[in-house]
Structure 1
Amino acid sequence: METSSTEKSIISLGPWLETPTGNYVRDWEHARLDELTVDIFGFNATQIGLPQIDALRANRMPHTWLTDTGFPPKGHDNEAHPLVVVQDFEELPYASASIDLVILPHALEFAKEPHQVLREVERVLIPEGQVIICGFNPYSFWGARQIIGRLSESYFLPQQGEFISLPRVKDWLKLLNMEVSGGYFGCYAPPCETQKWLDRFNFLENVGERWWPYLGAVYVVQAVKRVRGMHLIGPAWKTQKATAPQGVPATNKIHKSHK
Structure 2
Amino acid sequence: MTQTNSQILNLTQWLNSDPGQTVISWETEKLDQIVANAFGFNALQIGLPAWDLLRNNRIRSKVILTDESEKNVTSTDQPKIIHGRLDQLPFPSCSLDLVILPHILECSQDPHQILREVERVLVYEGRVVISGFNPRSLWGLRNGMPFLNPWVPISNRNMVSVRRLKDWFKLLSLDIDRGHFGCYTPACKTEKWLNRWDFMNQAGDRWWPVAGGVYLLSAKKRARGMHLVGQLPKRKRRRSLANRRPAITSQRDITQLFNTEHG
Q: CA deviation at 1:202?
A: 1.2
Matched AA of 2:150 = Y
Match of 1:250 in 2: 259
Give the alignment partner of residue 129 of structure 2, picking from 121, 129, 132. 132
Matched, 1:156 2:151: yes
Match of 2:217 in 1: 221
* 1:9/1:160 contact within 8 Å kept: no
Matched AA of 1:250 = N
> Do the aligned partners of residues 247 and 91 (structure 1) sit closer, same or farther apart at CA in structure 2, a change above 3 Å counting?
farther
Match of 1:108 in 2: 105
In structure 1, the residue corresponding to 2:189 is in which secondary structure?
coil
> Do the aligned partners of residues 226 and 159 (structure 1) sit closer, same or farther apart at CA in structure 2, a change above 3 Å counting?
closer
* 1:137/1:165 contact within 8 Å kept: yes
Instruction: Map residues 1-259 of structure 1 onto 2, 5 A cutoff.
Output: 3-70=1-68, 71=70, 76=74, 78-86=76-84, 88-148=85-145, 151-159=146-154, 162-228=158-224, 229=226, 242-243=251-252, 245=254, 248-250=257-259, 254-256=261-263
Q: CA deviation at 1:159?
A: 3.8
Match of 1:237 in 2: none
1:76-110 Cα distance to aligned partner (Å, 9 max, x none): 56221111201x31111000100001000000000
Which aligned runs of 4 or more in structure 1 are off by greater than 6 angstroms? none
Matched AA of 1:205 = N
Asked which structure has the greater RCO (Cα within 8 Å, sep 6+), the reply is 1
Q: TM-score, normalised by structure 1?
A: 0.87
In structure 2, the residue corresponding to 1:209 is in which secondary structure?
helix
* 2:52/2:79 contact within 8 Å kept: no
Distance 1:216 1:25 in 2: 11
* 1:96/1:123 contact within 8 Å kept: yes
Q: TM-score, normalised by structure 2?
A: 0.86
Distance 1:111 1:225 in 2: 22
Match of 2:239 in 1: none
> Do the aligned partners of residues 218 and 8 (structure 1) sit closer, same or farther apart at CA in structure 2, a change above 3 Å counting?
same
* 1:84/1:248 contact within 8 Å kept: no
> Do the aligned partners of residues 244 and 30 (structure 1) sit closer, same or farther apart at CA in structure 2, a change above 3 Å counting?
farther
* 1:179/1:224 contact within 8 Å kept: yes
Matched AA of 1:114 = P
* 1:130/1:222 contact within 8 Å kept: yes
Q: CA deviation at 1:246?
A: 7.8
> What percent of counterpart residues are identical?
41
Distance 1:79 1:180 in 2: 32
1:96-140 Cα distance to aligned partner (Å, 9 max, x none): 100001000000000110000000000000111110000000000
Aligned CA RMSD, in angstroms, stands at: 2.2
* 2:137/2:213 contact within 8 Å kept: yes
Q: CA deviation at 1:249?
A: 3.8
Q: CA deviation at 1:245?
A: 2.3
Matched AA of 2:129 = I
Distance 1:231 1:50 in 2: 41
In structure 2, the residue corresponding to 1:144 is in which secondary structure?
helix
> Do the aligned partners of residues 231 and 72 (structure 1) sit closer, same or farther apart at CA in structure 2, a change above 3 Å counting?
farther
Matched AA of 1:188 = Y
